[in-house]
Structure 1
Amino acid sequence: MTTAVQGTCAPQFENVRAEFARNFAERDEVGAAVAVWLDGEPVVDLWGGHADADGTRPWERDTLVTVYSTSKGMTALCAHLLADRGELDLDAPVARYWPEFAQAGKGEVPVRWLLSHRAGLIGPREPLTAEDVYDWEKTCAVLAATEPWWEPGTAQGYHAVSFGFLVGEVVRRITGVPLGTFLRTEITEPLGADLYIGTPASEHGRCARFIGPAGDGVLSSAFPGIPDGTVRSLDSHPFAPLALAMRHMPMGDVNSAACRSAEIPAGNGNATARGLAAVYSALGDGELVGPGTLAALRERQSRPGERDLVLGAFAEEDLPFAWACGYMLNESHYFGPNRTAFGHGGAGGSLAFADPESRLAYAYVMNSFGGGTTGDDTRNLKLVEAVYAALGQAGRAA
């Protein structure tokens, strides 16, 4: 059965519409949306499919969906907005803003290491429950008291869930409001961007149901090799670092009202593709922060040849991967051909990025689990290739 693609698309980008339709016909897409902004204006705004596995709810123009770690780009932006205003120094100790963080030998850990996944805090020493993770104060207190899993600054390891609490608490201590509130009042509402971290109950009816590998919204079911229970050391199992993130800080069912309403800034953002693209367009065009901050947030924090202790378990040996301050750098060219592009992907396949060189912003969201966090989902890659083909540029580098 052919899935109708709805929305608008500039004539130059009709190949994007065609590729988006192929995702439904050939790549098992259920429900999705893709948006592209060029020179500060929307040129692609497409959606289609269904908001549930049973096909009873059509995907609408304003359908929200969980974007998992694509949320991290929005969380990082809140910190960079404060840095741009002179209220946050990325090289200052976290404890300057969050005194309790100095416990367990972390007194000199700078904010920069939180943003670049170098703080060694991929999870607490003992597992939390999903209900614990929904409790902001409790989770932050546990992380503040946790001894790092490696010497901070000496290695990078993806802080899959903890990232949002660590960066978010610094933002909260400076501003006096939760990160989700700061994001909404300072960034998304002024831009008219439809996305939330801590989704109000009034918006839950617009949320698509995420369809994970087991047919539910529990992400840990995507990784059957991860052991249950407490992980005592990083070498206790091949996937131990990821187990720390997913078993020690579980998000629970992202389709539940409790999860949608909670603030888990590393992973439970609900957004439209249009909303994400609007924010990245404003960021890449210099509307949100000045040129110095834009350059600083893209500055490479990873060492040459350094592998990520968490994501490395799933990456090809020759896959270049590097962190900036809260963003993925485009060394694998999943964000198109330009090395200056930056953004973040999410588990399942969502992706959003800015490409200042091409004056472009892109976002893709969906509800059927496919690829990983780095932007390597085939559905996304084909769309990105189509976008750059429309610009007359080569797609992903060979």
Structure 2
Amino acid sequence: MQFDKTVTARGHDFQLTGWVKSGFEGVAGAFAENFATEEEIGASTAIFIDGEQVADLWGGYRDADFSKPWEKDTIVCMMSVAKGISGITFNGLISEGLVDPSEKVATYWPEFAQNGKEDITVSMVLDHTCALPVVTDPLYKGAIFDCDLIVSALEKQAPLWEPGTIAAYHIHTQGNLLGEIARRVTGKRFKDVIQERVIQPLGGDYKIGDLTDEEIETRVATLVPTLAGTLLERKDTEPDTLLAKGFVQHPDEPIGVTLNSKDWRTAEIASANGHGTARTIAKVYGTVVRGGSLDGVTLMSPETVEGMITERHHQYERMQQRHYHQGRGILLNTEEAVWMGPNPRSFGHHGFGGSIGFGDPDANIGFAYSCNKMHARGDNGPRARRIIEALYAGL
């Protein structure tokens, strides 16, 4: 069913476009309701079921001035949704036998074995227990954009506590650590491994950095952060916390400037700065839930999928001070942080501000939602949830 609707709200007309398969009209209705009742500016959502796409919706505006329409090919930074894509890519390396998650990181990266990190395993990096959630060397403001410098600092750094004992969400550093292991076993930068092994084979549109000037000018949506009630507020008001220390290498400027800067859009920050479309993320998860293969493309073996979605721990992690059901490089369904539908085996990753990608292996669903108006909540919020509820109601 073709979907074209204009929603008038908050003094603006939001043109919504796309299509849904018959039976999923409620998904289109939920997508429109977000614009009518929430603070949506621009967004997109996409769904795959049993390898078939059943929804592709987009609309609103890609800028904070409500002047540039969100088009079919608009891309947006989905923040930590990148962790899920990076985790899936890394599990593909495990599937291929290039990495053993039970092996020590230093086996692949000998220089890592400094200052008490000799026994840290790859698995600890994947499940946020390797005790390197922040870079303790303050470096310089803006060092977050220099992946190699961050890797070098982590290489020398001592763990903050005994590795493997305590979970702390590695907001930025997980991507640096996994990326260097991937580089050691493939000879390629992690952003290129992600492209070559996951995104390009599926015909996707998603990049870690590497955006061209033309893409930035014509396709990228502006992120509109909200500070109140979020980790961005806490990092400024609680400077001595682990959370605040996770942002020390950011530029000394408002976060809205940083997240929309050319530096952010072109750097390699594999935990945070992936830009792309919801349909790409949904297709990645729609592939993984089918045993790792779709349309002749194999991302990993069925056995690796099961290993990836097996719970590693359910700790009250120290960075954001909340519980997560943690898999191997991805999150598992966690009501209080990231709700991924009614099935407990659902897995994926949300992004700060409201974007999300997940897979449900029991219903064979790949789902994604992306937005540019970031919400003022600690959890994944009502906008994605409304669409997810409509999806399951239509099954």
> What is the aligned partner in structure 1 of residue 387 from structure 2?
383
Cα deviation for residue 371 of structure 1 reads: 5.2
Query: Aligned runs of 1:1-398 on 2, under 5 Å?
Result: 1=8, 2-201=13-212, 202-205=214-217, 206-213=219-226, 221-223=232-234, 225-228=236-239, 237=240, 240-248=241-249, 253-286=258-291, 287=293, 288-303=299-314, 306-312=315-321, 315=322, 321-332=324-335, 334-370=339-375, 374=379, 376-391=380-395
Cα deviation for residue 372 of structure 1 reads: 5.2
Cα deviation for residue 200 of structure 1 reads: 2.6
Distance in 2, Cα, partners of 1:364 & 1:343: 12
Distance in 2, Cα, partners of 1:214 & 1:325: 30
Q: In 2 relative to 1, CA 373–266 (structure 1 residues): closer, same or farther, beyond 3 Å? A: farther
State the Cα deviation string for residues 315-370 of structure 1 (Å, max 9, x = none).
4xxxx521111111114271011111100001000000011100111000000011
| TM-score, length of structure 2 as denominator length | 0.89
SS in structure 2 opposite 1:362? strand
Q: In 2 relative to 1, CA 146–189 (structure 1 residues): closer, same or farther, beyond 3 Å? A: same
In the alignment of these two chains, the number of paired residues is: 369
| TM-score, length of structure 1 as denominator length | 0.88
Query: Which sits farther off after the overlay, 13-22 or 192-201?
Result: 192-201
Q: Which blocks of at least 5 consecutive residues in structure 2 are unaligned?
A: 1-7, 294-298
SS in structure 2 opposite 1:253? helix
Cα deviation for residue 285 of structure 1 reads: 1.1
Cα deviation for residue 213 of structure 1 reads: 1.9
Q: In 2 relative to 1, CA 12–385 (structure 1 residues): closer, same or farther, beyond 3 Å? A: same
State the Cα deviation string for residues 155-208 of structure 1 (Å, max 9, x = none).
111000101101111111111111111111111111011111123314323110
Distance in 1, Cα, partners of 2:279 & 2:101: 30
Contact 1:220 1:246 in 2 (8 A): no
Contact 2:242 2:319 in 1 (8 A): yes
Amino acid at match of 2:381: D
Of Structure 1 and Structure 2, the greater strand share is in 2
SS in structure 2 opposite 1:33? strand
Q: Percent identity?
A: 34
Q: Which blocks of at least 5 consecutive residues in structure 1 are unaligned?
A: 229-236, 392-398
RMSD: 1.9
Distance in 1, Cα, partners of 2:300 & 2:18: 30
Cα deviation for residue 58 of structure 1 reads: 0.3
Contact 1:69 1:373 in 2 (8 A): no
Distance in 2, Cα, partners of 1:274 & 1:125: 37
